[in-house]
Amino acid sequence: MASLFIFGMGYCATRIARALVAQGWTVTGTQRDAGPDTVAFGDEPRVLAALGHATHILSSVPPEGESDPVLARYGAAIAASGARWTCYLSSTGVYGDSGGAWVDESAPVGAGRRSARAAADAAWLALRSDVRVFRLPGIYGPGRSALDRVGAGKAHRIDLPCQVFSRIHVDDIVAGVIAGFDGPAGAYNLADDLPAPQNAVIEEACALLGLACPPMLPLENAGLSAAQRAFYGENRRVANGKAKRLLGWKPLYPDYRAGLRALSAITSPAKASAQPTAASNDQR
């Protein structure tokens, strides 16, 4: 029986776990506070025992400081395990700022603000011959989208007209990871087909909710945290062609409009019957 062990049962990993359990897999993983189906990250005997039985291993844990905590503590055990598939959820932040140009997996990594992430990305790829690294842009989905930020009055529109970002619906990450079970090892970008300004995403969310758009603000007057300001310091379009070619994957939500419409239908039953499905809006 296929068995997945996950380091870091967070937003994406939990949805991957649910999808595989529904297919009959055995899934367990680590959390800071262990629950009925998880173990504490620091409970080394139980983690090592679980790794010994896993056919598949996935880490969604980001670096802490300058190091990857999973590799630091369990890297040797993962490298020596009998698992037949290993995966790391990375970030397209490893590419740094491309000035709005397209980047694919052949682009250099490590020059941007995510130097620790780039180092972890490279270390995972070097750990074993079966490693898949999925580089993810801005992640959105149920409970974590522009709809939620707009509804909570926390959305911003920043006056940076040439700024473009890529994003990915969490369910498309799940599909990409599962497609990676049978595809070749290596690094893959999972992103939708339409990089777009963050302002356009906020405006679409406002339209779906029937709310006024927040005012357009200069970056220095928007009251953003240092991390949020750093986000606007990079500008790139992420290409997803490799995952399509080699994994047979394509996003169910090919752009932010399809993704937000689907989320809006979920959160608003009155709109559900009026909204077309995301698949029917794939205009490619």
Q: Is the dihedral of CA 30, 132, 67, 140 positive or negative?
A: negative
What's the CA gap between 69 and 74, in Å, rounded?
8
Number of structural domains in the chain: 1
Asked if residue 31 is part of any domain, the answer here is no
- Structure tokens of 151? 């509804």
Tokens of 280: 């029917």
Nearest by Cα to 252 from 196, 183, 171 = 171
Strands 237-238 and 157-158, by their bridges, are unpaired
Instruction: Please report how many Cα atoms fall inside a 13 Å half-sphere around the Cα of residue 10, on the Cβ side.
Output: 13
E-strand spans in 8-130?
Answer: 26-31, 38-40, 56-59, 85-91, 102-103
Residue 13 token pair? 């990993």
Q: How many CB atoms lie within 10 A of CB 218?
A: 9
- Domain annotation covers residue 8: no
Closest CA to 96 of 233, 215, 1: 233
Report the alpha-carbon distance of residue 130 to residue 106 in Å, rounded.
19
Other beta carbons within 10 angstroms of residue 182's beta carbon come to: 9
Domain region containing 91: 84-281
Residue 131 CB neighbour total at 10 angstroms? 20
In a domain, 145, yes or no: yes
For residue 227, give the CATH number of its domain: 3.40.50.720
Task: Flag whether 141 is in a domain.
Answer: yes
Q: Is residue 216 situated within a structural domain? A: yes
Check residue 268 and give its pLDDT: 56
Q: What is the pLDDT of residues 108-147, one digit of tens each?
A: 998 777 789 999 999 999 999 999 999 999 999 999 999 9
Whether 46 is covered by a domain: the verdict is no
Integer Cα distance of 10 and 103 in angstroms = 27
- 50 occurs within a structural domain: no
Q: Residue 62: what residue type?
A: P
Count how many residues are written for the chain: 284
Give the phi and the psi of residue 83 in degrees, each rounded to 5: -60, 150
Instruction: Note down pLDDT in tens along the chain; length 284 residues.
Output: 899 999 999 999 999 999 999 999 999 999 887 777 899 999 999 999 999 999 999 999 999 999 999 999 999 999 999 999 999 999 999 999 999 999 999 999 987 777 899 999 999 999 999 999 999 999 999 999 999 999 999 999 999 988 999 999 999 999 999 999 999 999 999 999 999 999 999 999 999 999 999 999 998 888 888 888 888 889 999 999 999 999 999 999 999 999 999 999 986 543 333 333 333 222 22
Q: What is the dihedral of CA 54, 56, 62, 66, to 10 degrees?
A: 80
Residue 108 is which amino acid?
Answer: P
Alpha-carbon torsion (67, 68, 73, 75), positive or negative: negative
* Residue 262: CB atoms within 10 Å: 22
Cβ-proximal residues to 271 (8 Å cutoff; 6+ apart), any chain: 264, 265
Q: Is the pTM of this model over 0.85?
A: yes
Rounded to whole angstroms, the Cα distance separating 235 from 124 reads 26
65 in any annotated domain = no
Q: Hey, CA dihedral for 229, 233, 236, 242, is it positive or negative? A: negative
